[in-house]
Structure 1
Amino acid sequence: MFTRRAFVLSTLALAACTAEAQVRPVPRGADPGLVPQRTANWLAWVEGYKPRARSAGIDAGVIDRAFARAGYLAGVVERDRNQTEFKRSFEDYLQLVASEERVRLGREAFARQRSKLEAIEARHGVPAEVVAAIWGVESRYGERRGDIGVVSATSTLAYDGRRGSFFEKQLTAALRILQRGDTTPDRLVGSWAGAMGHTQFIPTSYQAYAVDFDGDGRRDIWSDDPSDALASTAAYLERSGWRRGERWGGETGSGGLQPDPGGPRFATGRNFGVIKRYNNSDSYALAVGYLSDRIAGAGPLEASFGPDRYGLTLAERQELQRRLGAAGFDAGKPDGVIGTGTREAIEAAQRSLGVAVTGDPSPALLRALGG
Structure 2
Amino acid sequence: MFMAALLTATFSFVSAGSANAAACGNNASGFPAWVEQFRQEAAANGIKASVVDRALSSVSYSTATIRADRGQKSFKLSFDQFMQKRGGQTIISRGKAMKKSNAAMFARIEQRYGVPAGPLIAIWGMETGFGSFLGKEHTLSAVATLAYDCRRSDFFKDQLYAALQLVGSGSLRLDARGAAHGEIGQTQFLPRNVVKFGVDGDGDGRVDLVRSRADALASTANFLRGHGWRPGAGYQPGQPNFVALQGWNAASVYQQAIAYIGARIDGE
Q: TM-score normalised by the shorter chain: which range applies?
A: 0.7 to 0.9
CA contact (8 A) 1:97 1:136 kept: no
| One-letter code aligned to 2:227 | S
Q: 2:252 maps to what in 1?
A: 282
CA contact (8 A) 2:200 2:207 kept: yes
What is the number of equivalent residue pairs in this alignment?
A: 241
The structure whose RCO (Cα within 8 Å, separation 6+) is larger is 2
CA contact (8 A) 1:70 1:151 kept: yes
Cα separation, 1, equivalents of 2:226 and 2:149: 34
Cα separation, 2, equivalents of 1:124 and 1:64: 38
CA contact (8 A) 2:83 2:89 kept: no
1:292 aligns with 2:258: no
Change (3 A) 1:287 1:194: same
CA contact (8 A) 2:75 2:82 kept: no
Cα separation, 1, equivalents of 2:74 and 2:222: 32
Cα separation, 2, equivalents of 1:291 and 1:83: 21
Cα separation, 1, equivalents of 2:262 and 2:190: 23
SS in 1 for 2:181: coil
Query: Unpaired runs of 5+ in structure 1?
Result: 1-38, 250-266, 299-371
Identity of aligned residues (%): 37
Change (3 A) 1:227 1:57: farther
SS in 1 for 2:80: helix
TM-score by length of 2: 0.82
Q: 1:210 maps to what in 2?
A: 198
Shift of 1:206: 1.8
Shift of 1:184: 1.6
CA contact (8 A) 1:197 1:222 kept: yes
TM-score by length of 1: 0.60
Equivalent residue for 1:156, pick from 138, 141, 145: 145
What root-mean-square deviation, in Å, do the aligned CA atoms of Structure 1 and Structure 2 show?
A: 2.2
Query: Unpaired runs of 5+ in structure 2?
Result: 1-27
Cα separation, 1, equivalents of 2:257 and 2:75: 18
Shift of 1:284: 2.0
Equivalent positions of 1:1-371 (< 5 A) are: 41-84=30-73, 87-97=76-86, 99-187=88-176, 189-223=177-211, 225-249=212-236, 268-297=238-267
CA contact (8 A) 2:75 2:253 kept: no
Q: Deviations over 1:196-240 (max 9, x none)?
A: 2111111122222111222333221111x2111111110111122
SS in 2 for 1:201: coil
Shift of 1:85: 8.8
| One-letter code aligned to 1:52 | E
CA contact (8 A) 1:139 1:198 kept: yes
Change (3 A) 1:238 1:114: same
Cα separation, 1, equivalents of 2:150 and 2:127: 23
Shift of 1:156: 1.4
Cα separation, 1, equivalents of 2:93 and 2:120: 16
Shift of 1:162: 1.7
